[in-house]
Amino acid sequence: MRKLIFIVLFALVFIAGCIIYAPQPYDEPSPQRENYYQDEYAGESYEGTRDSSYFYNYLSPYGYWTSHIKYGYVWIPYSTGYGWRPYSQGRWMWTDFGWTWISDFEWGWAPFHYGRWGWDDYTGWYWEPGTQWGPAWVTWRRGSTYLGWAPIPPGVIFVSGTGIRSLPNRLPDSLWIFVEGRYFYNTHLNKYVLPRERNLTIINYTVQKTNIVMRERLIINNGIDINHVNGISRQRVTKHRLANSANAGKAKIDRGRIEIFKPVISKNETASPKTLIDRNKVKEKIYREKIRKSGVSEAEWAVQKKQAQERELEVMEKSQKMEILEIKKKIEVEKRSDHSIAEKNKVEKKYKEKSVKLKEQHKKEKSRLKQRHEKEKTKVNKKKVKKEVKKQVSLPPEL
C-alpha cells in the first residue's frame, strides 16, 4: 500500500512539473517581454548602444528643451521655416520597414523615428523622447484623391506582439497633413502640402488607418497599401533596403539602399538637458532664433513669410478647383450613360447640389486661411512696434 501511495505522489509531482502556462491571446505583455524585445533589437544593430541623454546633448544646438507638465522634458525645434509641421519637410520611401520618413533636416534621424510629437496651443509642436526606433510614428488617412498622415501623439505606446492598430482618441483635424495623391512620392513634398484649413473638407473624403506592427523583430509601418499608392501617385513605387549608418545626420540614398542612423537607445531616468528654458520664454525665443539662425533680417523674413502665405493660397485654390472639376466630369459621364432621361436628370441634380455645398465649404476654408494670415501679420507688426519702443526708450535724452 505504501508503495502504491509513493508511486501516485511521484506521478503527481512529475505531471505538475510538466505544466507550462500558456498566455491567452489578450494577455498584456509583461515588462520582461518588452525588455526582451529591446535586447533582441540591440543585437541586430551596430555596436554602440546609447542612452536617452544622447538626445539631450545632440538636439540642443537645433532647438530648446523645456519642461512639460505631463510629459517631462520635451524638445522644440527652431529654424524650421514658415508653417512647418512634423513629417512635412522630407519625403516618403517604401522600405523593408514599410513607409519610412526621410527627413531633410540634419537632426531628423531622431525626432521622426523615436518618441512622439505633440501639439501645444502655447508653444506649438514639441517632441517627447522615446527609446523605440520606428520607420515613422504616424497614422494615415487615404481616399481616392488625397493621402494624409499625422504624428501619433504622446502617451500612445508600441507594445511588442500588439503594435499600434488604433488610437485611443480622435486627433484634431488641424494636425493632419494632406497632399494630392499624385504628389505623395515627390522628393519635394513640402511644396505640395495643403494648408491645414483644407482639412475641413478632406477629412470627410478619407478613411483613417493605423497599422504599425512587429514582423520578424522589425517595427513596420504599413498604414497605406502599396497598390493604392501606386495607383493614386500614378507611378510605381520601388522598394529600398534600409541599412544602419554609423554616423548621425541625414539619410543617404543610393541605388535602392538607404543608410540611416538608428542607434539602440536605452532609457536613463536620471538624464536631463544641460540647459532648460522656462516654458514662458520658449515662444519668444523660438521666433527670434528662427530669424537669427536663418541669417536674414526681420524685413527679409517678413517678405519670405508673405511669399509662403501666397503659396498656401495658391495650393489651396488649385486643389479646390480640382475637386469642382471632378464633379463636372462625373456629371458628363452620367449624361453619356444608358440611363433614362429622368434618371440622368436626377443624378445631374444630385451632383449640382453637391457642387454648391462644396463651393460653400471652399469659401469657409479660404476665409479661415485669410484670417490666419491676417493674425500672423498682426503678430509680426506688434513685435516690430515693441522693438521700436524698446529702441526709443534705450536712446539717451536729447541735450
* C-alpha atoms less than 13 angstroms from C-alpha of 69 in its C-beta half-sphere: 4
User: For residue range 263-288, what is the model confidence (pLDDT) as tens digits?
Assistant: 999 999 999 999 999 988 887 777 66
Check pLDDT > 80 for residue 11: no
Q: Evaluate whether 84 touches 181 at the Cβ level (below 8 Å).
A: no
Dihedral sign, Cα of residue 359, residue 365, residue 367, residue 373? negative
Compute, in degrees rounded to 10, the torsion defined by CA atoms 127, 133, 136, 138.
-60
Average pLDDT, the chain: 83
Q: Which of 25, 264, 22 has the alpha carbon at shortest distance from 161?
A: 25
Q: What integer is the mean pLDDT of 188-217?
A: 94
- What digits encode the pLDDT tens for the residues 320-352? 999 999 998 888 887 787 778 888 788 888 888
Residue 14 clears pLDDT 90, i.e. is over it: no
> Cα separation of 288 and 36, whole Å?
45
Please state, in angstroms and rounded to a whole number, the distance separating the CA atoms of residues 15 and 38.
34
Judge whether residue 203 has pLDDT over 80. yes
Cell of 253: 540614398
Amino acid letter, residue 216? E
d(CA 375, CA 372): 5
Q: What is the pLDDT, as a whole number, of residue 23?
A: 28
| 319 has pLDDT over 90 | yes
Percent over 90 (pLDDT), the chain: 60
Specify the pLDDT at position 301: 82
With 0-12 CB in 10 A as exposed, 13-18 as middle and 19+ as buried, what is 9? exposed
In this prediction the pTM is: 0.82
111-170 residue pLDDT tens: 999 999 999 888 899 999 999 999 999 999 999 999 999 999 999 999 888 899 899 889
Alpha-carbon span 281 to 278, nearest angstrom: 5
The CB-side HSE value for 346 (13 A sphere, CA atoms) comes to 6
